[in-house]
A and B are shown apart, each in its own frame.
Chain A
Amino acid sequence: MSLPPATGAVELGSFKQHVIRLLTQSKRLDGRPFDSIRVPHILYENRQDTKINRVLASTLYTDDTGTCVNCIVTGVFGPPPPQHPEEGRLTVEVTAPFFPGYSAFQIEGTLHELARFVRSTIISCLDLTELCVISGEACWVLRVELIVMNADGGLRAATLHAAVAALHNLTLPKARLPSGDVVESRCLCFHRIPVAATIGLCGTAGSMQFLLDTNAAEESVADVLLTVVIDETDGIVSFLHHGRFPLLLPHLTDAIDMVASHGAALRSAILKSSNLPQ
């Protein structure tokens, strides 16, 4: 779910107790209210200079507290998948090179699960038949490479937003197949745009407190963690939750409504910067 928080020279157990003490006083580590999100910022690299290296898009996702995810999309021609010959192929790789290796096994499992989550969420919002060039013969093979440079909680939401920002309005360039056929330029479009947020739930003094857009320290002390992905019509695209005690149905619907209230702000922050290069 999340990579371990960076506590510096402080012991992890003492750091957790400090965060718990702040939460009982209705405070968060970075001073945010309980129902506020960290607005993401998307930086686009100039696409003209990098087109010759097969790099179709390159985005840098950051927010106010230091989460940094780099997303690079490359495209080549290849054979279509055998079970769906009329579709293209999309692969997602997630790497985290700047994290310490003292729990490499767990980090690798987290990154594998993260790549599967990002890919399954994207292909449920994107029409892969647009990547088809010749049905059964040739298709675009898009490779989305996500490099987690710094993580401060909400890793699923951060990587998903970086990938969606890179793939939205992606221009597949005019190219030539090895057989000599010319493939025209095409624009990739989402038929629904997913936005995600992580919600933590703390059961302190018998009352439930929702923490919207948790950071890594809050994720290590929260009793329940939920990841909600919704689209423009507030329909559920993906929903994951686990915790130390069972949740009843009103808690699940309250979490979805909390993310839905910030969906428009998140979506505009992700897609606003995509108009700059054009």
Chain B
Amino acid sequence: MSRALLRRDGRGHREMRGKELRTSELTQFDGSAWYSQGLTTVVAAVNGPVAARQEDYRKCNVQVYVNRAVRIPRAGGTDRLCVEEQRLEQQRMDAEVEMFLTASIQAVVRLDQFPRCVLEVHVTILADDGALLSVATNALMCALLDAGVPCRTTVAAVTIVAFAPEDGSPVTAPTTTTTKAAPEASSLLSSSLPLALLLDPTRVEEVGDGVRTCATATFVLSNSVDGSNNSSGGVLVSQLQTCPRSSMHGGRMSSKDLVGMVALAERAAVSIFSFFRKCNVPLE
């Protein structure tokens, strides 16, 4: 029975991968952070705010540059067109990470205190094994704190995959566990089975099997105002995308599933905030 709750790498449904954080290693930047969750590793470096010429001079401008340590190599022959399409798709994913991080910075950093300035962020994706947006946002948050940039709050990003549970008696236990973990009588009454949630997915879990995986969502949650460990302060940035090939098999994502995902992300952000606080121990 407990074996049905384990994932491929031995984790439970609500368990995150191992986190590792190193700051202040890149000495040529004002702040830097090396952050990994599992095999997904991102290096974020922050320069500034520095004086620069720009059109909108009333507040600080944000420039985010996203690079990858490993890119798809070029190819020849009949596969050249397909490989070029994959390279273009990877560049667009970099642009998506760039826009997501720019929105996170604009929400967190007090840009109005630095008119006529530019805040430069260089993000290098060393390895991508799923949950890339959340790992990059967490690395960026640590780099901003390391650089001493004034922020309104600290944020933590969480990625969640929603998939349809299997039909049959072995899945009754995880459904009951899901109901006990998040008791929602209204969702049980309205829909037959709520979507099961996977916290901090790997790349294989994000791609899914094409039938049961419904959606992948990334939420950036702010710290609570009173500093308590029980809840977070709300969602600052979010991005939800349904998976292709799954909606043909009845995989529908409703508002109640979105509410469940945000509730799980808020509880997972508490563990990331405590991880950030434990890493804040000064050197003796």
Contacts and interface: CB of A to CB of B under 8 A. Distances in A.
Given A103-B55, A236-B255, A116 B89 contact: yes
A112 B95 contact: yes
B282 to A, nearest CB: 29
B46 interface: no
Contact of B235 (A81, A112, A116, A252): A252
Contact of A78 (B81, B89, B240, B258): B81
A238 B92 contact: no
Interface residues of B, number: 53
A114 to B, nearest CB: 9
A91 B87 CA distance: 12
B106 interface: yes
A247 interface: yes
Nearest to A226: B238
Interface stretch (B17-25, B117-125, B143-151, B245-253): B245-253
B103 A236 contact: no
B258 A252 contact: yes
A82 B88 CA distance: 16
A233 interface: yes
A73 B210 CA distance: 26
Given A103-B55, A112-B92, A256-B255, A239 B236 contact: no
A12 B238 CA distance: 28
B262 A238 contact: no
A85 to B, nearest CB: 11
Contact of B262 (A1, A110, A240, A252): A252
Interface string B79-112: 1011001001101111110111001101100000
B7 interface: no
Contacts of A233: 252
Contacts of A239: 217, 238-240, 258
A123 B107 CA distance: 31
Contact of A128 (B56, B63, B244, B262): B244
B134 interface: no
Interface string B19-53: 00000000000000000000000000000000000
Contacts of B55: 12, 102-103
Given A109-B99, A112-B92, A191-B248, A240 B239 contact: yes
Interface string A118-134: 00110111011000000
Contact of B259 (A13, A123, A249): A249
A77 to B, nearest CB: 11
Given A124-B243, A256-B258, A248 B106 contact: no
A12 B258 CA distance: 36
B258 A236 contact: yes
A241 interface: yes
A115 B92 contact: yes
B235 A253 contact: no
Given A109-B98, A246-B233, A235 B107 contact: no
Contact of A79 (B81, B99, B104, B259): B81
Nearest to A126: B244
A246 B81 CA distance: 43
Contact of B253 (A82, A128, A236, A244): A236
Nearest to B98: A109
Contacts of A110: 99
B215 interface: yes
B252 A79 contact: no
A128 B243 CA distance: 13
A191 B251 CA distance: 12
B208 to A, nearest CB: 12
Interface string A231-273: 1011111111111111111001100110000000000000000
A35 interface: no
Given A117-B96, A239-B238, A239-B239, 12 more contacts: A13-B58, A79-B79, A89-B85, A112-B94, A116-B96, A236-B257, A236-B258, A238-B240, A239-B240, A243-B236, A244-B106, A248-B235
5 contacts: A79-B82, A236-B240, A241-B237, A247-B236, A253-B259
7 nearest interchain CB pairs? A246-B234, A112-B95, A242-B103, A239-B240, A116-B92, A235-B252, A242-B237
